Amino acid sequence: MKILEMTGNATARVIDAAPPAPAPGEVIIETARSAICGSEMKTYRGKGIASSNSGHEAVGTVVELGDGVTNLAPGQRIGASAVVGCGHCAECAVGRFTWCRSAKSWSRMHAERFVIPARACSRLPDDLPWDEATLLTGDGMGVPWHTAKKIDRPDIETIVVMGLGPIGLGNVLMQAHLGRRVIGVDIVDYRVHFAARLGADVPIKADETLIERIMDLTDGEGADVVIDCAGKRASVANSFASVRRGGIVVFNGESMEELLAPSRDFNRREIWAVGCWYYFMSEVPEMFDLWRSGLDVTKIITHRFPLDDAPEAFKLFDQGQTGKVLLRP
Ligand SMILES: [Zn+2]
Ligand SMILES: [Zn+2]
């Protein structure tokens, strides 16, 4: 079968590999779509992965069952969670794989087939198209929904989305759908314009006047919530500078740097900070409901490529000139 190999230093190629075989409890999925995620860029630009890739958002059809799989059958359409818990602890029992102490990440999904534990598969409604399903069962829209649930207070009106990569754009689409006033901020023109098309009421290209402009838009108080989707020193600083007293800063962006000071950032203005990672398996049916209620997640897709052209797709995505990019074997 064909699989994308990330060869490192921002290069990739499609190679031939033996099809995966299922261990007990696992299933083989014939891939219908996989999506490129911003979190893959570190691997793509860095060392790559020999004979493999970091693809972790995919949907497809069950074609083979490992021993002991009783909840799925060949021919069924599924979406996969790439974070998979042990399956028998208290967190897994309520669909919170990300809180399982033995959770593992699965990838290799930019391929004609991939293997995944059966418990990580969500059956897709028959009328849900593949493109929509890719976003609804993956972190592309899963993270924005998981985030939305943490900031569902009715008094929250204005939300700043700081950083408009695919997760930031997903937050714009989600929060606009939920009726919030959205201010979308990035340093890349393409993304700022795209955010406006997804429902950002005020798209802003960040410069030295950013905080002043957000204060002007919020009667000098600051936004009720700021979602940092960049994880950069500047975006984190700007997030705290543009949130109101008693407001909420949500972290979607990843960073291992020490960026915060309690007195400056939290105490004196009584700021709430919320960490947010991936989504819960238990939230996938809620995603289907959102789609039925009119959330058009395909708006966030800007490019579709055959798997053969995945190297080109990654190059384009890496330049920041795309929304969500889908691959099709
Ligand atoms: Zn991802
Ligand atoms: Zn568990």
CA distances from 273 to 41, 48, 225, 250, 270 (A): 26, 33, 10, 6, 10
Residue 237 alpha carbon to ligand 1 centre in Å: 24
Residue 278 alpha carbon to ligand 1 centre in Å: 8
pTM: 0.95
- In this structure, are 14 and 128 located in the same domain? yes
Q: Token digits for 314?
A: 């990654």
234: exposed, middle or buried (C-beta count within 10 Å: 0-12, 13-18, 19+)? Answer: middle
Q: Taking 90 as the threshold, does the pLDDT of residue 296 lie above it? A: yes
pLDDT of residue 199: 97
Number of domains in the chain: 2
| Rounded average pLDDT over 240-265 | 93
Q: Taking 90 as the threshold, does the pLDDT of residue 255 lie above it? A: no
- In this structure, are 75 and 8 located in the same domain? yes
- In this structure, are 118 and 14 located in the same domain? yes
- In this structure, are 204 and 99 located in the same domain? no
Residue 285 alpha carbon to ligand 2 centre in Å: 20
- In this structure, are 284 and 270 located in the same domain? no
Residue 114 alpha carbon to ligand 2 centre in Å: 22
Percentages of the chain per state (helix, strand, coil), in multiples of 5: 35, 30, 35
Say which CATH number the domain at 73 has.
3.90.180.10
Say which CATH number the domain at 185 has.
3.40.50.720
Residue 87 alpha carbon to ligand 2 centre in Å: 5
- In this structure, are 249 and 124 located in the same domain? no
Q: Which residues pair with 158 in a beta bridge?
A: 181
* pLDDT tens-digit map of 89-118: 999 999 999 999 999 999 999 999 999 999
- In this structure, are 152 and 262 located in the same domain? yes
- In this structure, are 20 and 130 located in the same domain? yes
* pLDDT tens-digit map of 31-51: 999 999 999 999 999 999 999
* pLDDT tens-digit map of 168-199: 999 999 999 999 999 999 999 999 999 999 99
| Rounded average pLDDT over 77-94 | 98
- In this structure, are 127 and 145 located in the same domain? no
Which segment of 54-63, 81-90, 253-262 scores lowest on mean pLDDT? 253-262
Residue 99 alpha carbon to ligand 2 centre in Å: 8
Maximum CA pair distance of the chain?
62
Q: Taking 90 as the threshold, does the pLDDT of residue 320 lie above it? A: no
Residue 80 alpha carbon to ligand 1 centre in Å: 12
Smallest CA-to-CA distance from 85 within 76, 73, 95 is with 95
Find the domain containing 270 and state its range.
Answer: 141-275
